[in-house]
Amino acid sequence: MLGEQAVGPGRRDPACGSARNWSGAAEDMMATRAEEIADRLLALIEARGGGWYGLERINEAAHSLQCAALAERHGAPTALIAAALLHDIGHLLDGAAEDDADRGCDDRHEEIGADYLAQWFGPEVTEPVRLHVAAKRYLCATASGYAARLSEASTRSLALQGGPLGTSEIAALERNAGLADAVRLRQWDEDAKVVGMPTPPLDHFRATLVEVLLSPRAGRA
């Protein structure tokens, strides 16, 4: 055919090189996008995380950092470290009120945060976030002595969130594949309320967020 060139041994098919170039460019674009999303999330925590964490004696940013640091220290997978860092992001989004518990309201921040994160992350990140309040209610119902481990503020919000789960709610939650990660996150959440606990800076977790965003299973960058 006129204009058609045979591609044989030793001859380079221009289309192959071109495909490789496109695939490299696409990877670069995805990496840049993941970095932008990670920066946006960290900037949100930095800009709005100075407010008190509910009725606790530390602020939201310190609580998030402590939770992520505990996850990292316990060897959690990167998606769960990201979930730990971002689990309360629903408190920081537009319209979130810092004093809902004070006013006797459940802010449903776990749903707001999980839905927000679902723009970019898969269930490995969003479901521990979505379930971290249910996990508290589950642990209070099933783990002897767990309720005594809650801070005063968390005990107060437990009542607003519906109290310990009932038998049918426990059975339903135990069918949820995300429960185990949510329970792990929840326990770090309880321990991440220590005034003055040393943690890495926010930027330490940037590479973790980027890695998760680029992961074919968890990220949707």
**Bridge partners (DSSP) listed for residue 52:** 59
**Bridge partners (DSSP) listed for residue 59:** 52
Whose tokens are 């309201």? That residue is: 105
Least separation in angstroms between CB 147 and Fe ion: 17
Indicate the residue among 88 and 127 with the shorter CB distance to Fe ion.
88
Indicate the residue among 181 and 189 with the shorter CB distance to Fe ion.
189
Least separation in angstroms between CB 39 and Fe ion: 22
Least separation in angstroms between CB 193 and Fe ion: 8
Indicate the residue among 49 and 219 with the shorter CB distance to Fe ion.
49
Residues from 181 through 210 that contact Fe ion (CB under 5 A) = 189
Q: How many residues does the chain have?
A: 221
Residues from 95 through 154 that contact Fe ion (CB under 5 A) = none
60 binds Fe ion (CB under 5 A): no
Indicate the residue among 34 and 132 with the shorter CB distance to Fe ion.
132
Burial of 67 (0-12, 13-18, 19+ CB in 10 A): buried
CA–CA separation, 215 vs 78, rounded Å? 10
Least separation in angstroms between CB 17 and Fe ion: 50
Write b or e for each residue in 135-158: b if 16 or more Cβ atoms lie within 10 A of its Cβ, otherwise e: bbbbbbbeeeebbeebeebbebbb
How many chain residues touch Fe ion (CB under 5 A)?
Answer: 2
Q: Which residues bind Fe ion (CB under 5 A)?
A: 88, 189
